[in-house]
Amino acid sequence: MGHYLVFDGGLMSAQVRDCDICIVGNGAVGKAAALGFAQSGLRVSLLCAPGSGSSAVDSGSADWDVRVYALNHVAHDLLSSLKVWDALDQARVAPVSAMQVQGGGIDAGKLGFDAYGAHVNELAWIIEDRNLNQALDTALRFAQNLTPVQGRAQALSVQPDAAQVVLDDGSSIRASLVIGADGAQSWVRGACDIGLDYRSYHQQGVVSNFECAKPHHGVAHQWFVQEQGIIALLPLPGNRVSLVWSAPDALAETLLREPLSALVERLMPYCGEVLGALQPVLPEAIKAFPLRLMRPHSMIAPRVALVGDAAHAVHPLAGHGMNLGFADVVDLLKVIKEKEAHRDCGDARLLGRYQRARKEEVMLMLATTDGLARLFASDLTPLRTIRDLGLNLLDRLPVIKNKLIAHAMGK
């Protein structure tokens, strides 16, 4: 990594780090992008805010992280190619062999997917946030061509041949391409003045972990319960499940205030028959995060590309927020790897190719998750009848059903 000092009229000015790609953001998607580009031989600077560094301090913790991801085959293949998948603590990774979706009532519609019907060994893998980030951090420590930079971005300027990110200490990073991987409240997106369509779902994702009396057999369960939101119980290793309850704001606040024993009582009418009695995983923990739809007007700007939540935020009912981010990285890596020799990483034509490559999948996932969230939130009897009939009909159409699951897996 080249870094040098600029002299102006005999006075020394702040340090400038020179690289091919500057990645702003220290989440899993940004780390994966940094690894991918560094391993391809490009010089990478990974900019993260002070105090947001390695999660390795948590290594060896026996606690179960309440924030988990359902990673699909695209994410699996990317992490495998980066030599990260095998660095995961596999004892804490749970394969998903099937998924059962149904309404909240006794006679509600039902829809089931399984790995056998999709001709794969697993539909997805449930992975804790901590496990994923520790494996990425380990790979980053050994990566060539990669320089981690602690600091806060203050300004972004773009010249014909490069972009420059100025930090709060007066230093700066000069790169052919700046990648915004800095989350839903992206500073990079704001600095580029990219417009945003935003809508709150007035829901929170309430997450916690439980021991279940009956084996889950690798099956993920999901219940659409109208005014109470969407309840998902995802398999964890052993007889454990991870709860993701997309609950209306008022209910979410109640769930956070109540003891977890009260939350168990709320869950039992839905899961008691298939999972048996639930007990909170010790030490007890519960968290929540706001749910919203975010659709930036562009995923690119001059010498800038957005990835992950900076580029899109979807309802978690399909579990694909992280998968969309990893797919962004896959497509951006491919576009730059296949670039013509006379183009640099931030060439406008390359960025246009990236945006076109991502447009269909992102728009489809935004529309699908938003439409389903609206449909199943309605308690109107005609809509409830139609959606239940639709679930039951789809469950009897294996060709269409398997095409849907193949798309969800990234196949």
Question: Domain with 253 in it: what CATH number?
Answer: 3.50.50.60
pLDDT in tens, 149-180: 999 999 999 999 999 999 999 999 999 999 99
Query: Is the residue at 6 inside a domain?
Result: no
Question: For residue 312, is it within any domain?
Answer: yes
d(CA 179, CA 191): 12
* Per-residue confidence (pLDDT) for residue 119, from 0 to 100: 76
pLDDT score of 11 more than 60? no
Q: Provide the 10 A C-beta neighbour count for residue 182.
A: 27
In a domain, 3, yes or no: no
279 lies in which domain range? 19-409
Residue 369 has pLDDT above 60, yes or no: yes
* CA neighbor of 305 nearest in space, from 385, 205, 395, 188: 188
Tell me if 13 is assigned to some domain: no
Residue 254 lies in a domain: yes
Residue spans of alpha helices (H) in 233-347 = 249-257, 260-275, 321-337
Higher pLDDT, 239 or 110: 239
Instruction: Using alpha carbons, select from 301, 317, 358, 300 the residue that is nearest to residue 334.
Output: 358
SS3 98: strand
8 CB-near residues (< 8 Å, 6+ apart): none
Query: What pLDDT shows up at residue 97?
Result: 94
Instruction: For residue 25, name the pLDDT band (cuts at 50, 70, 90).
Output: very high
**What's the whole-number average pLDDT of the chain?**
86
**Structural domain count of the chain:** 1
Bridge partners for 128 per DSSP: 68
Is 310 inside any structural domain? Answer: yes
With respect to residue 12, please indicate whether it lies within any of the assigned structural domains. no
Q: pLDDT tens for residues 37-87?
A: 999 999 999 999 887 654 444 445 679 999 999 999 999 999 999 999 999
Whole-model pTM: value is 0.88
Please report whether residue 14 resides in a domain: no
